[in-house]
Amino acid sequence: MSTEAWTLIIVGLTFAFYLYIGYMNRVRETAGFYVAGRGVPAIANGAATAADWMSGASFVSMAGLIAFLGYDGAVYLMGWTGGYVLLALLLAPYLRKYGKYTVPDFIGDRYYSNTARSVAAIATVFISLTYVAGQMRAVGIVFSRFLQVDILLGVIIGMAIVAFFAVLGGMKGITWTQVAQYSILILAYLITAVAISVKLTGIAVPQIALTFSDIAVRLSELQVELGLKEYLAPFQNFSLLNVFFITLALMIGTAGLPHVIIRFYTVPSVADARKSAGWALLFIALLYTTAPALAVFAKYNILNTINAKPVEEVHSIGWVQSWAETGLLKLEDKNGDGVYTMTADKETNEIFFDRDIIVLSTPEVAELAPWVVGLVAAGGLAAALSTAAGLLLAMSSAFSHDIYYRILRPGADERQRMIVGRTTIFVAILIAGYFGYKPPGFVGEVVAFAFGLAAASLFPAIFLGIFDKRMNREGAIAGILTGLIFTMVMIVLIRSTRLLGTSEPILDSFLGVNAQGVGVYGAILNFIVALVVSRLTSPPPEEIQHLVEEIRVPRGAGKATAH
């Protein structure tokens, strides 16, 4: 059977499976819709969080990104995992104890202010919306590359699937679908990585093969020979200062992303929230420790197969042919010596490959059966769809629960709230789909925005709300606004060539830190302003101080959620 037929069958089967799970887990009441009735076991919530977290970009592009950045690719590896330690130790157990539905819920109640609630809700919607557009795009691309359908049709199919289980099942449907999606995406990733690891080193565990084989050293030497940067040496692409700040910004941002935080409302107890964060990171680490191995092996293999090899020989290789057709692999014998040579100089370089090729081409490069290619396509779709679903729910709950129910119509009954919840998810899907089809020209900036804003606004506000009993409304609001505005302005100024269309960036960097790392300064400013303003204004009311004491101890978690 052909690769296309296999891909179609596997993608079709997995989609039918998601629809079935979504239908089985449809819900009627609000608690089921927003927090899955708080009945999700710790380990299942861990898998769902992992699927929620690992986006289409993590699956398809991360290994490629690392392959190009070498050592400095660690900013993403450490940044996107280290944040879970902050989340597990500083936020998750307390938010679970507090036991409401959303992040703005906590901020609004803790700071006894609808202004704080609205600011948090708007930040949630903005962060989630910028992030979700990229997911729908990834869905469209996978469809068009593997199934030769139009990107628009791909996006519409993806939207329909997400709409089905998100609108019908809310958090409950999304959670159990994500557990299934995690299984598919990790299976696809590991099969691919193990296969290329065995082919190059004879060792079946990619992590061990990376550490104990000499492939990484040989790749590093080969890169130096070709005039490229040394793979194993730090700070070749970013300065030490930037590596430090970007890593920290991604860590703090990860801990402040609303769609990740709300996952910890779904487990039955505080003890489960703690454990669940561990499971989530374990499941994520499975992919994140595999990715650097895959990056080294795939890059080494591609360079070794093509570089310094005669033109005819290279063109007789099957996968070279098929990837050259997609335009992701470009070969041109510029000096006409009959040999393809890779160099660091754009003018003379004869081998160009897109970073997405690292993961997507590996099944063919490692000569795996055609069904594995289908599984990788299904894995990429699973990663994109699960992340999109989680983001849509976070966005919809911030709007329908926090803005509509808590601020605009406090008297709304269960049925009205469910209608508004489902309608906002549906509208959010349409908006996301539109951005997926016609992406704004600054997709790369989106990540900097989402993480920078989460780090500079939500994380400090939640952290101080738990650990600083004296923190009050005035301090928190002043802090959030300072962090938010500072970070936003900095990103716009540093990336002004893309965002404002200026010919030169208005600002090169802020104290040597680029747009991706500037959120750390935003977070620090938020902390300072919040602490100073809170000490100059009156302390929070008695009952709020009791609330803080209450969330610091696990006992009584169930009572807090009774409604």
Instruction: Point out which span in 81-89, 326-334, 432-440, 456-464 binds another protein (CB under 8 A).
Output: 81-89
Among 36, 44, 48, 77, binds another protein (CB under 8 A): 77
**Residue 259 beta carbon to another protein: minimum distance, rounded to whole angstroms:** 19
User: Residue 479 has which token pair?
Assistant: 């802090």
Among 14, 25, 81, 400, binds another protein (CB under 8 A): 81
Per-residue x/- track, 247-286, another protein (CB under 8 A): xx--x----------------xxxx--xx-xx--xx--x-
User: Residue 370 has which token pair?
Assistant: 């055609």
**Residue 499 beta carbon to another protein: minimum distance, rounded to whole angstroms:** 29
DSSP type of residue 113: -
Q: Which residues, 6+ apart, have CB-to-CB distance to 506 below 8 Å?
A: 493, 494, 496, 500
Could you give the CA distance from residue 419 to residue 408 in angstroms, rounded to a whole number?
15
* Type of residue numbered 239: S
Q: Which residues, 6+ apart, have CB-to-CB distance to 470 below 8 Å?
A: 534, 535, 539, 540
Could you give the CA distance from residue 547 to residue 431 in angstroms, rounded to a whole number?
38
Compute CA distances 379 → 183, 367, 445, whole Å: 9, 19, 25
The helix or strand, by DSSP H or E, that contains position 147, with its residue range, turns out to be helix 114-147
Q: How many other CB atoms sit within 10 Å of the CB of residue 325? A: 9
**Residue 292 beta carbon to another protein: minimum distance, rounded to whole angstroms:** 4
* CA angle at 139 for the pair 76 and 150, rounded to the nearest 5°: 140
Residue of 379, 11, 382, 396 lying closest to 166 (CA atoms): 396
Strands 309-310 and 339-340: antiparallel
Q: Which is nearer to another protein, 338 or 556 (CB)?
A: 556
Q: Which is nearer to another protein, 73 or 479 (CB)?
A: 73
**Residue 59 beta carbon to another protein: minimum distance, rounded to whole angstroms:** 17
**Residue 236 beta carbon to another protein: minimum distance, rounded to whole angstroms:** 11
Could you give the CA distance from residue 541 to residue 470 in angstroms, rounded to a whole number?
10
Per-residue x/- track, 5-44, another protein (CB under 8 A): ---------------------------------xx-----
**Residue 202 beta carbon to another protein: minimum distance, rounded to whole angstroms:** 14
Among 142, 193, 243, 384, binds another protein (CB under 8 A): 243
Q: Is 554 an interacting residue with respect to another protein (CB under 8 A)?
A: yes
Instruction: Point out which span in 122-130, 245-253, 324-332, 407-415 binds another protein (CB under 8 A).
Output: 245-253
Q: Is 78 an interacting residue with respect to another protein (CB under 8 A)?
A: yes
Residue of 270, 359, 287 lying closest to 323 (CA atoms): 359
E-strand stretches of 161-217:
none
**Residue 272 beta carbon to another protein: minimum distance, rounded to whole angstroms:** 9
Q: Is 204 an interacting residue with respect to another protein (CB under 8 A)?
A: no
Instruction: Point out which span in 51-59, 88-96, 134-142, 363-371 binds another protein (CB under 8 A).
Output: 88-96
Q: Which is nearer to another protein, 403 or 466 (CB)?
A: 466
Q: Is 244 an interacting residue with respect to another protein (CB under 8 A)?
A: yes
10 near 240, Cβ under 8 Å? no
Q: Which is nearer to another protein, 99 or 433 (CB)?
A: 99
Size of the site for another protein (CB under 8 A): 59
Could you give the CA distance from residue 97 to residue 84 in angstroms, rounded to a whole number?
18
Q: Is 207 an interacting residue with respect to another protein (CB under 8 A)?
A: yes
Residue of 20, 46, 81, 32 lying closest to 183 (CA atoms): 46
Among 1, 16, 240, 536, binds another protein (CB under 8 A): 240
Cα-Cα-Cα-Cα torsion 55, 70, 449, 273, nearest 10 degrees, comes to 50
Residue of 25, 79, 64 lying closest to 48 (CA atoms): 25
Which parts of 282-311 interact with another protein (CB under 8 A)? 282, 285, 288-289, 292
Q: Is 557 an interacting residue with respect to another protein (CB under 8 A)?
A: yes
Residue of 405, 402, 385 lying closest to 394 (CA atoms): 402
Instruction: Point out which span in 84-92, 143-151, 301-309, 400-408 binds another protein (CB under 8 A).
Output: 84-92
Q: Which residues, 6+ apart, have CB-to-CB distance to 372 below 8 Å?
A: 188, 191, 192, 195, 363
Among 235, 337, 430, 539, binds another protein (CB under 8 A): 235
Q: Which is nearer to another protein, 85 or 427 (CB)?
A: 85
510 near 525, Cβ under 8 Å? no
E-strand stretches of 338-391:
339-340, 351-353
Q: How many other CB atoms sit within 10 Å of the CB of residue 134? A: 25
Among 2, 214, 413, 501, binds another protein (CB under 8 A): 214
141 near 326, Cβ under 8 Å? no
Residue of 269, 291, 267 lying closest to 46 (CA atoms): 267
* CA angle at 288 for the pair 285 and 289, rounded to the nearest 5°: 80
Q: Which is nearer to another protein, 71 or 323 (CB)?
A: 71
Instruction: Point out which span in 158-166, 206-214, 353-361, 511-519 binds another protein (CB under 8 A).
Output: 206-214
Q: Is 64 an interacting residue with respect to another protein (CB under 8 A)?
A: no
Q: Which is nearer to another protein, 270 or 461 (CB)?
A: 270
**Residue 183 beta carbon to another protein: minimum distance, rounded to whole angstroms:** 19
Could you give the CA distance from residue 380 to residue 392 in angstroms, rounded to a whole number?
18
Q: Is 89 an interacting residue with respect to another protein (CB under 8 A)?
A: yes
Q: Is 90 an interacting residue with respect to another protein (CB under 8 A)?
A: yes
Instruction: Point out which span in 136-144, 175-183, 231-239, 476-484 binds another protein (CB under 8 A).
Output: 231-239
User: Residue 189 has which token pair?
Assistant: 């990733």
Q: Which is nearer to another protein, 153 or 232 (CB)?
A: 232
Q: Is 542 an interacting residue with respect to another protein (CB under 8 A)?
A: no
Q: Which is nearer to another protein, 508 or 549 (CB)?
A: 549
Residues in contact with another protein by the rule CB under 8 A = 38-39, 66, 71, 73-74, 77-78, 81-82, 84-85, 88-90, 93, 207, 210-214, 216-217, 232-235, 240, 243-244, 247-248, 251, 268-271, 274-275, 277-278, 281-282, 285, 288-289, 292, 549, 552-559, 561-562
